[in-house]
Amino acid sequence: MEANQAVTELLLQGTPIEAPDGKQRTVHFIDFEHPDRNDFLVVGSVSQVLVL
């Protein structure tokens, strides 16, 4: 339950980062102000192949 809450907060509030110019910025994963700028992909399953 705690993991779900943490991910929900990240999606709603974003996460702080330090930009290359040294300033603190917040990265937002969803643009709520401009919903048409978001792209979502829903899949039933994902497979990974390890190539050596």
Q: Residue 47's pLDDT is what?
A: 86
Q: Residue 46's pLDDT is what?
A: 82
Q: What is the reported pTM?
A: 0.59
User: For the chain, which residues make up each domain, given as ranges?
Assistant: 2-37
Per-residue pLDDT of 2-47, as tens digits, reads 999 999 999 999 999 999 999 999 999 999 999 999 998 898 888 8
Alpha helix (H) residue ranges in 1-52? 2-13
Is 52 a residue whose pLDDT tops 90?
Answer: no
Q: Residue 51's pLDDT is what?
A: 87
Q: Give CA–CA dist 15/6, Å, rounded.
A: 11
Handedness of CA 35, 38, 13, 42 (dihedral sign): positive
